Amino acid sequence: MTSRVRDLGTLGQAVWLDFLERSFLTEGGLARLIAQDGVTGVTSNPSIFEKAIGHGDAYDPDIIQLVEGGARGVGDVYEELAVTDIRTAADTLRPVYDQLGGADGYVSIEVSPYLADSTADTIAEARRLWTEIDRPNLMIKVPGTKAGVPAVRRLTAAGLNVNITLLFALDTYKAVAEAYLAGLEARAAGGEDVSRIASVASFFVSRIDTRIDTVIDARVKAGDAEAEALRALRGKVAIANAKLAYQYYLELITSDRWQSLAARGARPQRLLWASTSTKDASLPDVLYIDALVGRDTINTIPPKTMDAFRDHGTLAETLVEDVDGACRVLAEADRLGLDLAGITAALVVDGVGQFAAASDALLGAIAEKRAALLGERINGLRASLPGPLQDAVDTRLEAARAEGWSRRLWHGDASLWTGGDEGAWLGWLQAGAVDRIDLEDLAAFAAEARSFKDAVLLGMGGSSLGAEVIAGVLGRAEGYPRLHVLDSSDPGQIATVTAAIDPGRTLFFVSSKSGSTMEPDLLRSYFFDLVERAAGTGRAGRQFVAITDPGSALERTARTDGFARVFAGDPSIGGRYSVLSVFGMVPAAAMGIDVGSLLAATRLMVQSCAPDVPPKANPGFRLGAIIGEAVKAGRNKLTILPSASLKPIGAWLEQLLAESTGKQGRGVVPVDLEPVGDPAAYDDDRLFVHLHLAGDQVGEPGARLAALEKAGQPVVRITLAGRDRIGQEFFRWELATAVAGAIIGIDPFDQPDVEAAKLKTRTLVDAYERTGLLEPGAPVLREGALSFFAERSAGDGAALLRTHFEALRPGGYAGFLAYIERSDVHEAALARMRVLIRDARRVATVAGFGPRFLHSTGQAYKGGPPGGVFLEITRDADPDLAIPGRRASFGTVQMSQALGDLEVLAERGRRWLRVHIDGDTQAGLVALERLVAAALA
């Protein structure tokens, strides 16, 4: 059968197919084109795969199999699918390749466009694909970028077939041709065979005209004096450019340099015309086939254009016709100021961008299919946002995609944040990885832990909050110790834990990344002494376990005191990001929790947030964009509304968000444990996040969310199908916080304002050790059991409180800093006062128990957004508790912390008032509540 397409071969031009798709391959489409039209090759690119895989359901059975077969990430899924298709195409073309002795019969696959700026990464990926696909008639496509050209030389020298893509400019083509020659020469110099290597230089044609003609049309429309001359160049420049490239090729193959390689059997690098479908409907649809026919070249043609050529193409060796005319076209373009060099340079950048966008679309489509397949195995997220916020989030996600944020974040590119040392603090990204936690060792440790009735974890902030969530949400398994978290210097709180345990049958975790935090150190000495007294001198160590970063003071103490175990943290993970590392997993194991399956469930989320998942399809990025854009829109009070079983996650989220983002006068102020109210109670500074565990009652938050949503408040709903999905939220929120930090423009891994309060405390405690004195200042008022400390007096207690609350402004917030025992009763008393203030003033309210919050939200209260108005509550430590070997008691330490905290708040210009309770704390709180109500009335 005759075929006009096949006849191109008689003129020395090979025809390749610029298309690939699974069913087309498996149903014999390619084989038919080979047989009927003499097609001798196939090219693919990210856009082709996007069209093939990203739409419809042809690949779904494979995707299901891949996802179910090992919960793989989307990049892996894509590659498996692409590799399968490329192998099939290569095998279909193999007879052609064999028949032509390797002169043709190739199929091309492109390295990831994300690597276009890195020579080393391009080389590594090309080699990986070459080895994985393992076909002699494979070509690896490398972009003709600055970084791509040196890769061509190295890959050619290594014996790979290379197709250099995205060539527009003659100069780049010359550099690429040179790289091929140099690569072959390097091989020849090493005595290696050069006869089995093929290469093509893919010149993109129509895109040049599209750009130039747009400029021409604009100038003509604007009444350019040269309108006629400009119009005459429409649809001509790209072809002229290609003709000159071909002239260069003809020169090159006659050069001595080439001839000596040819004598060794080397094959010339053929020119391949790509982008040959006509984009401008006013030009002939076979323009870029008809005009580019020449010996030893290739035209890679999309199916529709091939059909058109088959129907009405013209067969003539046009490439060498009227070369002078081509020179004249380019000279005329130059005279008319059409900037071909600028346009071709921009086209390379654009081309990489387009392929990256296609890859993103494809990976996003796979991510969506994967998420649908995983169903409830992955926690859901639904957001209902007011229009402008939704628009800002969408714009951000698209910008983040175009700027490669996901990949840059995973690669530790600090320019996403402040360009500081952020890249050194990303160890948590790997924390969910299988090999990071020694599961066998943890299982052995869990078996040892069974002999204890209770476990007490001594640690602050990130060194305890994660473990507390795990204990509260997952609970201990039968036969394993009950976990008590002690993150306080409050004597009452310490006494409560002490009373709840049998010191001789309790395991103690001393948990501190830095190993130098004051509270766990004091608590360690207190409990060590207690156990020594119960178990006998020299025997306490076996009940103690340290979790700390290598080389810390705590590690040394643990060795000296004969601790049973020392678990080493990862110094590239900051405290608040450490829950999926030993800081959360070791206590989890002690509670009999199956850490392996917790991490396996978590990994589904990690993979959903992987670098190759574009931001819009990436659950962590989506949440981060919502938080970051909400902050930018003034909605910086992230109000946490968990369902009953998830309540403990609030404190962990508070630290993560506040300490990470609350600095330089910006960031999130998390609002936890504030009872949910009616829409009228809220201003427009909120973002509500509801976390719901399947099986929990919808309850208060759930029921009121709809009303809030209706009132135009932004509401995010996160759903967990099971308790073991809690790890997914740890990871999602860590990533979201890092993303929000990038949007807000701060370093989410430091805590610059925490240190100040620590220093003040230390000074006060040290002074006390020397003098036995702690000067709490003189109250401006005593009223019943309450003493008021303020900058100035203002009448009675209610009046003082009224003046205090009058400082609250829209967008500000009221804070309770309670240096009292953390208990349900106290929490409820604070909650009642919070509601009074919120409903009276329409401001957000926060509350923290001291010193616990100092290691958490304290950062944002001091360094974050202004507008905080703080009421500090202290009380007499009665009974107090002594600290072994120290003059200062726990009560003294706690009071020093309260005073140090206030000093720093005052220094930072925050509004403050301290109320000290004499005698019974509960009664004092009741009295205070009455005064607060009166003050707000």
DSSP states along 766-822:
HHHHHHS-------SEEETTEEEE-SS--SSHHHHHHHHHHT--TT-EEEEEE-S--
Q: Does 737 bind ligand F6P (CB under 6 A)?
A: no
Binding of residue 852 to ligand F6P (CB under 6 A) = no
- The yes or no reply on residue 751 touching ligand F6P (CB under 6 A) is yes
Reduced to 3 DSSP states, what percent helix, strand and coil does the chain have, rounded to the nearest 5?
A: 55, 15, 30
Provide the pairing of β-strand 297-301 with 380-384. unpaired
Nearer of residues 195 and 763 to ligand F6P, judged by Cβ: 763
Q: Does 855 sit near ligand F6P (CB under 6 A)?
A: yes
564-593 positions binding ligand F6P, by CB under 6 A: 575-576
CB atoms closer than 10 angstroms to residue 419:
11
DSSP codes of every residue in 560-615? HTT-SEEEEP-TTS-GGG-TTSHHHHHHHHHTT--HHHHHHHHHHHHHHT-TTS-G
Pick 277 or 856: Cβ nearer ligand F6P: 856
**Is 111 a residue that touches ligand F6P (CB under 6 A)?**
no
Least Cα distance to 865 among 651, 634, 681 occurs for 634
Q: Any contact of residue 862 with ligand F6P (CB under 6 A)?
A: no
Which CB atom, from 503 or from 574, has the smaller least distance to ligand F6P? 574
The contact mask relative to ligand F6P for 811-830 (x = CB under 6 A, - = no) is --------------------
| Binders in 644-683 for ligand F6P, by CB under 6 A | 659
For residue 175, CA distances in Å to 164, 172, 206 come to 11, 5, 22
- Supply the minimum distance, in Å, between the C-beta of residue 519 and ligand F6P: 8
Q: Out of 161, 278, 463, 660, name the contact with ligand F6P by CB under 6 A.
A: 463
Is residue 13 a contact point for ligand F6P (CB under 6 A)?
no
Q: Which is nearer to ligand F6P, 514 or 719 (CB)?
A: 514
Whether the CB-CB separation of 10 and 4 falls below 8 Å is answered with: no
Question: In this chain, which of 514, 525, 664, 823 binds ligand F6P, going by CB under 6 A?
Answer: 514
Query: Could you tell me the smallest distance in angstroms from the CB atom of residue 856 to ligand F6P?
Result: 7
Task: Describe the crossing of helices 649-661 and 726-744 by its angle, rounded to 10 degrees.
Answer: 20
Q: Single out the segment in contact with ligand F6P by CB under 6 A; choices: 333-341, 376-384, 514-522, 528-536.
A: 514-522
Query: Among residues 292, 754, 846, 883, which is the contact residue for ligand F6P, using CB under 6 A?
Result: 754
Residue placing its CB nearer to ligand F6P in the complex, 86 or 754? 754
Task: Tell me the closest approach of the beta carbon of residue 638 to ligand F6P, in angstroms.
Answer: 18
Q: Does the protein bind ligand F6P through residue 897 (CB under 6 A)?
A: no
CB of 899 to ligand F6P, least distance (A): 17
User: Which own/partner pairs from 356-361 qualify as long-range (CB within 8 Å, at least 24 positions apart)?
Assistant: 356/46, 356/113, 356/114, 356/116, 356/404, 357/401, 357/402, 358/45, 358/46, 358/47, 358/49, 358/50, 358/113, 359/46, 359/50, 359/112, 359/113, 359/114, 360/401, 360/614, 361/50, 361/54, 361/614
Asked if 557 touches ligand F6P (CB under 6 A), the answer is: no
Our finding on whether 185 is near ligand F6P (CB under 6 A) is: no
Strands 813-818 and 868-875: parallel
Helix/strand/coil for 893: helix
Return the bridge partners of 814, or none. Answer: 845, 869
CA 355 to chain centre: 21
* C-alpha to C-alpha distance for 354 and 633, rounded to whole angstroms: 31
SS3 679: helix
Q: Judged by CB under 6 A, which of 462, 642, 748, 863 binds ligand F6P?
A: 462
**Residue closer to ligand F6P, measured from CB, 144 or 848:** 848
The nearer residue to ligand F6P, 460 or 736, going by C-beta atoms, is 460
d(CA 757, CA 31): 75
Question: Token digits for 578?
Answer: 């450490």
Among 513, 622, 704, 725, binds ligand F6P (CB under 6 A): 513
* Smallest gap from residue 445 Cβ to ligand F6P (A): 20
Residues 201-260 that bind ligand F6P (CB under 6 A): none
Tokens of 684: 């427009």
- Which one, 278 or 751, has the nearer CB to ligand F6P? 751
141 is a catalytic site residue? yes
In the bound complex, what is the minimum distance in angstroms from residue 815's beta carbon to ligand F6P? 17
Q: How many residues bind ligand F6P (CB under 6 A)?
A: 15
Binding segment (CB under 6 A) for ligand F6P, from list 28-36, 330-338, 512-520, 634-642:
512-520
Residue 843 CA to chain centroid, in angstroms? 32
Contact 298, 272 (CB under 8 A): yes
Q: Which helix (H) or strand (E) holds 499?
A: helix 491-500
Identity of the residue, 787 or 856, whose beta carbon is nearer to ligand F6P in the bound complex: 856
Binding site for ligand F6P (CB under 6 A): 460-463, 512-514, 517, 520, 575-576, 659, 751, 754, 855
Active site residues: 141
